[in-house]
Chains A and B, each alone.
Chain A
Amino acid sequence: MDSALLLGFTGLSVGALYFLLASGLSLVFGLMHVLSFAHGAYLSVCAYAAWAILDAWGTEGRTGWELVIACVLATVVGGVIAFLTELLLLRPLYGRDSLDQLLVTLGLGFVIVATLRGIWGPEERQVSLPEWVKETTALGGANIPNDRFIIIGAAILVFVLLQLILRKTRHGTIVRAGVENRDMVRALGIDVRHSFTLVFTLGGMAAGLAGALGAMYLRAVQPGIGDHFILFAFIVLIVGGLGSLSGALVAAVIVGLVQQFANFYIGSGAGDVITVALMAVMLLVRPQGLFGRTERVA
């Protein structure tokens, strides 16, 4: 029972990380019809940013606030690079096929990861964390590492914030409408491109936070850290639905739990295999995902 509880929390934590990455991808695809390969790279960059902050902080004076600062910085960095990407690289391509935009995000992913590897080398760098994060809390007979609580809490916070933006602000309402019917939004006199920037940047910020938290979870960063998460973010995206935030949340929980439980009880890699197969099945049977909202997938 206690291993099940531990697995549950671990599953929810990885699910939380997948959700953070997938939330951006979901809105970006739902509104802009572009599959972004760049957000995985943003995660990597921000993981390094978080690592650098924590490394520079040193080992004394650890209160926990340095974690918050690392997360905030990572979020900001993610937002800034996403903003610049959309403005400088994607905007000029809006008249063109969305394939070209996808390819550009692909290229950017290559460039960013190669740059990280060039600067810091391919080796893993240990992330310096305060002791209490690495310790565990007893809960229901199991010892749950404290980082799980932080990660899950952060994801819930982000979900709530994003939902507030989507539902309570005019910009958010435009995004929700645009996911349903982009042309009609334009036909109401609204320039959708502003929403593109908003959505891409929010995705970058979420990816940035995922980078910081992912670094915390894995206790180490290496240039390929984004690739580690992006595959499962894609799975969550497809299963949960393109353009649906709550779909991404539900799917993230499912994927995270299935992955961890299957990996433990069935065998190493089984969880990965099952979740990937789940994505393939969903694509063939219901391409818009469980809660898909966007008008088209193909």
Chain B
Amino acid sequence: MTAAPVLELVDVQASIGVSHILQGVSFTAPANAVTVVLGRNGVGKTTTLRAILGLVQRSGSIRLLGEQIEQVETSKIVRRGVAYVPEDRDVFRRLSVQENLMLAERKNSEHRYELVYELFGELKARAKQAAGSMSGGQQQMLSLARGLLNENALMLIDEPTKGLAPRVVGDVVNVLEKAREISTIVMVEQNLAVARRLADHVVVMSEGRVVVEGERDLLDDDHRMRQLLGLEAEGKGH
């Protein structure tokens, strides 16, 4: 049974200032699956996620759940059921954990606090703590918790394991494996091992474009991966 894809991009262009970063990105994110976006540094992976959300100047066709959203404002897109877990966490540092979560609550959805506290026990204990005073890993948990709080058709996750210690990476991956059961995910990830554990669908970018789109087995082709991703593909198979 194939459901309609949650997200379809066709020839999406995006600029930041005068830098024309996305030169025509096209791919599809199938429903109930994890689509991993790979590519070297600077190819436009983060910009792609931000373009979907309308956080950068964009043009082209972006369809979310069958509806065009390239002209829709960011907060409206999110309210249709999109969660964003940005690179570098972007939690509100001076607000408490509780306030961070509270802001994430959306009106048209259930707030799954039990699920969140079950997955992220620490956050309950640290409810009143200022988010900025937590470790990187804990902030990442908070960021993911914000993303999982509401019922979302799509989660956009940007390098969730970046800069984290190996043990914490494992915790994050466990959380993501639970997340994939309840939401479609589009995830930018540089860490090939993490990608191998989670990916169903694979998109590889280069210089602002998608160069390869395929399924999970693509990641097992070491030679190809090394070509597409450069030396980062080596040594990440742990």
Are A and B co-members of a single complex?
A: yes
| Known pairs A181-B90, A184-B92, A187-B86; A170 contacts B102 (CB<8 A) | yes
| Known pairs A181-B90, A187-B86; A173 contacts B75 (CB<8 A) | no
A188 within 8 A of B: yes
| Known pairs A174-B103, A186-B78; A180 contacts B92 (CB<8 A) | yes
Picked from A173, A184, A191, A293, the residue with its CB within 8 Å of the CB of B86 is A184
A174 to B100, CA, bound (A): 10
A146 to B225, CA, bound (A): 78
B86: which A residues are within 8 A, CB to CB?
A: 184, 187
Mark out the residues of chain A between 147 and 179 whose CB falls within 8 Å of any chain B CB in the assembled complex.
170, 173-174, 176-177
Which residue of chain B lies nearest to A194 when distances are taken between CB atoms in the complex? B75
A192 within 8 A of B: yes
- A176-215: CB near B (< 8 Å → 1, else 0) gives 1100110111111111100000000000000000000000
Picked from B75, B94, B104, B146, the residue with its CB within 8 Å of the CB of A186 is B75
A187: which B residues are within 8 A, CB to CB?
A: 53, 55, 74-75, 78, 84, 86
How many A residues touch B, CB cutoff 8 Å?
A: 18
B16 within 8 A of A: no
Smallest distance from the beta carbon of A78 to chain B beta carbons, Å? 28
Instruction: Assess the A176–B90 pair: CB atoms within 8 A.
Output: no
- B61-103: CB near A (< 8 Å → 1, else 0) gives 0000000000001111011000010100010111100010011
How many B residues touch A, CB cutoff 8 Å?
A: 21
Instruction: Assess the B75–A184 pair: CB atoms within 8 A.
Output: no
Picked from A173, A183, A184, A189, the residue with its CB within 8 Å of the CB of B102 is A173
Which residue of chain B lies nearest to A177 when distances are taken between CB atoms in the complex? B92
A174: which B residues are within 8 A, CB to CB?
A: 103
A185 to B74, CA, bound (A): 10
Instruction: Assess the A189–B99 pair: CB atoms within 8 A.
Output: no
Smallest distance from the beta carbon of A291 to chain B beta carbons, Å? 11
The 10 A-B residue pairs with the shortest CB-CB distance in the complex, in nearest-first order? A189-B78, A186-B74, A187-B84, A189-B79, A177-B92, A191-B75, A186-B75, A184-B90, A189-B106, A188-B104
What are 15 residue pairs bridging A and B, where the CB atoms are less than 8 Å apart in the complex?
A170-B103, A173-B95, A176-B92, A180-B94, A186-B55, A186-B74, A187-B53, A187-B74, A187-B86, A188-B78, A188-B104, A188-B106, A189-B78, A190-B75, A190-B103
A residues near B (Cβ < 8 Å) are 170, 173-174, 176-177, 180-181, 183-192, 293
